[in-house]
Every structure is written in C-alpha cells, then in structure tokens.
Amino acid sequence: MKYKRVLITGCGGMLGSDMYKVFKANYSEVLATDIDLNEDFLEYLDVRDFYKCQELVEDYKPDLILHLAALTDLEYCEKFPDEAWKTNAYGTENMAYLSKINNITLVYISTAGIFNGEKDKYTDFDTPNPVNYYGASKFYGEDYIKKNLDKYFVLRAGWMMGGLKKDKKFIKKIMNRIDRGDKVLEVVNDKFGSPTYTKNFAESLQKVIEVAPYGLYNNVGLGNCNRAEVARRLVSLLGLEKEVSVTEVTSDYFKDDFSTLRPKYECLENLKLEWLGLNFMRDWKDTLEEYVSEIRLVK
C-alpha cells in the first residue's frame, strides 16, 4: 500500500463507520478521531482547534489524512452559519495547512450540494454555485484545498445512505416512519440526486487514492432518481408494498420542517473515474438492497 499511517477526522458518523472498517482492513495503522466518542476506537479531536490538531499530527505523524469532519445538517447550518463556517471551512483550513507543512496527502469529502441544481447532471468540471450555507462552507473547503495543496484528493459524494444506527439521513427517516406504523409516506418528487452507499463509497475511495492522480473526482452511486423513487424502492425491498404506500408531494409540503433552500438536482456523473477506468461505484438500487439486508441482520 502507498500509505502506512492513516488519520481520520469526523470518524464517528455514518460514513466514518464504514471508512474505518475499510481502512483498518487495508492499512497497518489507523487513528480514528471525532468530537463524539461513540465508539471505543475513537480518540477525541476537534478540527476547529488548530493547536490540538497540530499537536496530534506532529505526534502521530500520518502520511494520509481522511478529512470527514463536517456539519451536514442543512437546517442547523442555515440557523447557525458561523458554526457551519467554523467546522466546514475553518476546520478544513486547519487540516489542509497541517497536511501541507508536513507533506501529508489529504483526502477531503465534498458533496453534490455545492451546485445550485439548475442543471440536471453535473460532471467533475462544472462550476459550483451553492444555494445554502452548508453548500457554501463545503465548497470553500474544496476550493481552499485545490488552491493551496498539491497532494490531495477531493471526492464528492451524493445522497448518503448507510452507517446503520448512525444513519441520520433519508433512509433512516423513512425507516423510522415505517417502524412507528405509518401506512402512508408523503415523499417529495421534485428533488433529484445520486444515492450513494457509504460502504461502496469507502471501498471505492480506498482503491482510487492508491492509484489515481491527485485531484478532484465525483464518486457517487450510479443512476439518478427522486426521493419518492428511493422510498418506493425501499418499501418494495422490505416487502411492504401492500401495507405501506408512497404519496408523491412537492417540497412545499415540508416547508415548515425543511425551510432551507435545496438544489433541485444534486445528480453527479463520475466522469473522470470512468475515463481512468476507476469507477468502482455501483447502481443505487443494488446498494440499497445490500443496505436493507444489512439493516435486517442487526435488527
């Protein structure tokens, strides 16, 4: 393997759980950190504290940093923009600077949310134009890295699904409604994206950074869809078509709960990975089926 000592920030979340498993299986030394110590393998690190980050990097001496730490709740970021900037932008500056001065390769996880959603699909070469604080703060981190580092990978994810009990995203919310007995699920049909399984994303990322040139890559699940399609597929995989129905609504239906402006289209195309022959991402329908099987095993 190209790398020996791996440091992961923000490893306590839904992506971090799969990232840790993948990298622990492939590398001899992995130090996983977070501000929420919800696993026994985690050590405390707040990426907003430059001096603590500096101390840890100088002590551990990683040759690879996987920077996952981020605030991803759009409503929270919109309500507390300073917190979004402090974590997603300033925290990324800290890890980027320490990577540069210590000759460390940095991997940054970006998002389809950096685009304004006016195009129905975005490649690696399209120009970001965020419409909310979450997208703006994540794009700042991406842009800062590209302008200041030579040894970096930026990998953009789509609509995340996975992480089992740590899943706080769409699949978990739908599962919660089903578990509490809801027979009718109102789901929006005017938001489109690329569902991306955390396990598939982590496995793909590990392979890409070993052989690909440094740079920026879209790395999302294959196939685009709207939220209602995902919900309908989930209900089908659970074998509940006769018990639970999906009613399609527009985003206005949830405007009181989700008031933050969201892009209509968050669909990405893994163009550069295709050209390199390194597109290891799978169809979202297949990975959702795998995720549902994983959920059943732990219930």
pLDDT single digits (tens) 47-82: 999 999 999 999 999 999 999 999 999 999 999 999
Q: 5-167+195-223+268-282: CATH homologous superfamily?
A: NAD(P)-binding Rossmann-like Domain (3.40.50.720)
Q: Is the pLDDT of residue 299 over 80?
A: no
Closest CA to 135 of 268, 266, 281: 266
Candidate from 53-62, 119-128, 131-140, 160-169 with smallest mean pLDDT = 160-169
When pLDDT is averaged across residues 106-124 and rounded to a whole number, the result is: 98
pLDDT at 38: 95
Candidate from 129-143, 163-177, 221-235 with smallest mean pLDDT = 163-177
pLDDT at 114: 98
Q: Is the pLDDT of residue 298 over 80?
A: no
Q: How confident is the prediction for the chain on average, in pLDDT?
A: 96
Residue 165: pLDDT band (50, 70, 90) is confident
Supply 193's token pair: 């994206």
When pLDDT is averaged across residues 10-28 and rounded to a whole number, the result is: 97
Q: Is the pLDDT of residue 164 over 90?
A: no
pLDDT single digits (tens) 142-156: 999 999 999 999 999
What are the domain boundaries of the chain?
5-167+195-223+268-282
When pLDDT is averaged across residues 266-286 and rounded to a whole number, the result is: 98
pLDDT single digits (tens) 200-255: 999 999 999 999 999 999 999 999 999 999 999 999 999 999 999 999 999 999 99
